[in-house]
Amino acid sequence: MIGLVKKNEIRTILVKDLSRFARDYIESGAYIEQIFPFMQVRFISVNDNYDSNNNENGISSLEIPFKNLVYDYYSKDISQKISSSVRVRQDRGYYFGSKAPYGYVKDEKDHHQLLVDERVRNIIEEVFERYLSGESMLSISKDFNHRGVLTPAKHIGLKRGSGVWTGQIIRYVLTQRVYTGAVVGGKTRVQEVGSDNRKWVDSKDWIIREDMHEAIISKEDFGKVQDMLNSNAKLISRERKNFHILQDKVYCGKCHHKMTYTVNYGKTDGYCCPYRYIAMDYGCLKGKIKAETLEDIVSKEIKLYTESFLEKEQTRKIEYKVMESICESLLDRKKRLEAEKQKIQVSKMQLYERHKQDEIDKEAYLSKKEDLSKKLKNTEQEIAIITDKIKENTSSGHNLNVDKLREAVAKGELVLDWINEVIDRIYVYDKDKVEIIWKFEKGNGKDG
């Protein structure tokens, strides 16, 4: 709404009372007493009997900040009481989620109570049984996709999500303590009273109440699964210490997911698509492309690209000088227009003050105000056009370090800084088919 006010698209604001306008009393007072009068915006608060255009019998200027302060205190007090009430109920084991977790439904008689969803009980039991038997999360997800099992999101009718089971979804199911009959609350907390921003709370401070509803998985089996997951996490952490120079840039050319860099001790390291056995319809590379092979392909492509770039460098220098000259001229024009805009805004404010002091009649005031508003609108439109032109000219330029480029070509090796500077993504279609998306080429991007 404030954005529309600044664009002169709103001339009157009507609220039930001051508390409905803003929760922050300082911000509210600044808008009502300073910004809106300056912007020629009429503000009306029905219950407070306040109209900025006619306030002889309404609230005084002293009452506005006082009322806003009271409303601010009241809203924060209510917020504290609500938070305290929710925490008390969480301590008692009430479930407060907007939707029941996968595997459960809310009791129609008491929405804070969970009942087992018999339609998917067997799916959850199967996930835990198969993982405990040593089967991988990838294998379980692949089988579920083959059988057409609905993902948790699709089961409850959500539109978002691909509808494809992944290892991450299996992991999510395996870590949900709710399946042991426990209710876990207090995972997030507002950063300050009256704020909508929330932060995650350390797991040791969560509110956990056991045996609040029927369990699907025994506590013993759940504990075993968590031990297995923690053990695997430590192994993955050790493996991730291996870093390859291209690993932040490599994506599958078929499904466009980021490819995984794998290091198998005693074997060749390389890249594989984590969705190759999940999203079967995409035709992702089934095996892996060797890191050494990918380095060779990328090195050759970079050499060709940089040689071509350096050949055209002199022509580009002339083009950039022309663009710089155009931009300087546009910036100068924009600066003059912004000064003109400021003058018009001051003139509008002075005109309003003259009208309030009865120095000019209403008819003359409205006529001059309309003229100034038209001038302001035209000026703002011209500023917007010039801003777009400046962006067009500057976006076609480049900040590439040519000396670094020559050095990279001379060395004939991949340098991390150089890769980050010129390569956006590397798409792998097959073991010998790779596409490089350069940062300085337009219209070649793909959806990630």
DSSP letters along 312-332, please?
A: THHHHHHHHHHHHHHHHHHHH
Write the DSSP assignment of 248-309 as a string of letters. Answer: TTEEETTT-PBPEEE--TTS--EEE-TTTTTSGGG---SS-EEHHHHHHHHHHHHHHHHHHH
Tens digit of pLDDT for each residue in 276-320? 777 667 788 888 898 888 888 887 887 777 777 666 665 566 556
Classify residue 45: in a domain, yes or no.
Answer: yes
**Taking residues 15-40, what's their average pLDDT?**
67
pLDDT reading at 119 higher than 90:
yes
**Dihedral angle over CA of 261, 266, 267, 272, nearest 10:** -20
Question: What's the DSSP call for residue 164?
Answer: -
Tens digit of pLDDT for each residue in 201-221? 777 777 788 888 999 999 999
Domain co-membership, 110 together with 190: yes
SS3 239: helix
The answer to whether 245 and 426 have CB atoms below 8 angstroms apart is no
Classify residue 145: in a domain, yes or no.
Answer: yes
**Taking residues 83-101, what's their average pLDDT?**
70
d(CA 142, CA 166): 8
Classify residue 168: in a domain, yes or no.
Answer: yes
Residue range of the domain that includes 359: 318-398
Classify residue 419: in a domain, yes or no.
Answer: no
Classify residue 358: in a domain, yes or no.
Answer: yes
Domain co-membership, 110 together with 178: yes
Tens digit of pLDDT for each residue in 2-25? 677 667 778 888 888 766 666 554
The answer to whether 259 and 428 have CB atoms below 8 angstroms apart is yes
Domain co-membership, 83 together with 115: no
H/E stretch holding 84? helix 63-91
d(CA 2, CA 341): 19
Classify residue 203: in a domain, yes or no.
Answer: yes
Strands 250-252 and 423-430: parallel
Tell me, what's the pLDDT at 62?
Answer: 46
Domain co-membership, 220 together with 154: yes
pLDDT bin (cut points 50, 70, 90) of residue 27 is: low
**Taking residues 248-262, what's their average pLDDT?**
89
| Beta-carbon contacts of residue 67 (< 8 Å; ≥ 6 apart) | 18, 48, 59
Strands 270-272 and 289-290: antiparallel
- Of the three residues 232, 259, 290, the one that is the final residue of a domain is 232
Classify residue 120: in a domain, yes or no.
Answer: yes
Tokens 């980021």 belong to residue: 258
d(CA 162, CA 154): 9
- Of the three residues 182, 205, 232, the one that is the final residue of a domain is 232
d(CA 309, CA 314): 10
Side-chain half-sphere exposure of 418, counting CA atoms within 13 A: 20
CATH number for 219: 3.90.1750.20
Domain co-membership, 49 together with 80: yes
- Of the three residues 184, 216, 232, the one that is the final residue of a domain is 232
Tens digit of pLDDT for each residue in 156-180? 877 666 678 888 889 899 999 899 9
Tell me, what's the pLDDT at 445?
Answer: 45
Domain co-membership, 9 together with 73: yes
- The number of domains in the chain is 3
Domain co-membership, 180 together with 143: yes
**Taking residues 173-199, what's their average pLDDT?**
75
CATH number for 68: 3.40.50
Classify residue 267: in a domain, yes or no.
Answer: no
Tell me, what's the pLDDT at 94?
Answer: 75
Flag the least confident range among 165-179, 345-359, 405-419: 405-419
Domain co-membership, 323 together with 367: yes
Tell me, what's the pLDDT at 291?
Answer: 86
Tell me, what's the pLDDT at 58?
Answer: 44
Of 126, 94, 100, 98, whose CA–CA distance to 112 is shortest? 94
Domain co-membership, 87 together with 185: no
Q: Name which residue leads in pLDDT, 82 or 270.
A: 270
Domain co-membership, 125 together with 223: yes
Q: Name which residue leads in pLDDT, 119 or 326.
A: 119
d(CA 420, CA 422): 6
Of 212, 209, 222, 210, whose CA–CA distance to 125 is shortest? 222
Domain co-membership, 63 together with 121: no
Domain co-membership, 65 together with 167: no
Ramachandran region, residue 257 (left: φ > 0; alpha: ψ -120 to 50; beta: rest): beta
Task: Supply the mean pLDDT for the chain.
Answer: 76
Please give the structure tokens belonging to residue 83: 């938070």
